Amino acid sequence: MSHTRECACCDPGAPASSGGEMTCYCPLGGVIETVGRKYAMQVVALLGAEGPTRYGELEERLEVTSSSTLSDCLSDLVDENLIERRSFDEVPPRVEYSLTPRGRQLEERLQPLLEWAATE
């Protein structure tokens, strides 16, 4: 979700908006790409509400139709430092997912969207 300021809207020579200040909307592309994946917003919201959760519980709560899609989503969220994956050295093996501080920030920002979606 990182952004480098190499776009036309961030160019200091580009014309400013009517308010005189430039607003760069380019970072939204990375955010949308990450949270727009299937299950991503639901995973973040669920982990925010439930705390650390095992893979099987996520699968069950989200009524997952494709384990590989959920797995890929979790890997991407880990790569983006939004969730963390914690493995426990137990038999049988246990893995839990939880929000990172950055993930908690995202979850807080998703709450108004979730509330809005629930009114439909």
pTM of the model: 0.79
Instruction: Output the pLDDT for position 28.
Output: 81
Residues 26, 50 within the same domain: no
**Distance from the Cα of residue 116 to its chain's centroid:** 18
pLDDT at 104: 97
Asked if 31 and 56 sit in the same domain, the reply is no
Q: Are 20 and 77 in a shared domain?
A: no
Taking phi over 0 as left and psi of -120 to 50 as alpha, with beta for the rest, 81 belongs to left
Domain coverage including residue 12 = 1-35
Contact between residue 33 and residue 73 where contact means Cβ atoms under 8 Å apart: no
CA dist., res. 93 & res. 19, Å (int): 56
Give the pLDDT confidence of 62-115 residue by residue, as tens digits.
Answer: 999 889 999 999 999 999 999 999 999 999 889 999 999 999 999 999 999 888
Residue type, 74: L
Do 44 and 31 sit in the same domain of this protein?
A: no
Question: Could you tell me if 11 and 58 lie in one domain?
Answer: no
Residues 67 and 108 in one domain: yes
Domain count, the chain: 2
Cβ density class 77-88: b for 16+ within 10 Å, e for less: beebebbeeeee
Are 12 and 66 contained in the same domain? no
Note whether 60 and 84 are same-domain residues: yes
Same domain flag for 70 and 106: yes
Same domain, 42 and 83: yes
Do residues 12 and 56 share a domain? no
Indicate if 28 and 42 belong to the same structural domain.
no
Average per-residue pLDDT for the chain: 86
**pLDDT greater than 60 at residue 15:** no
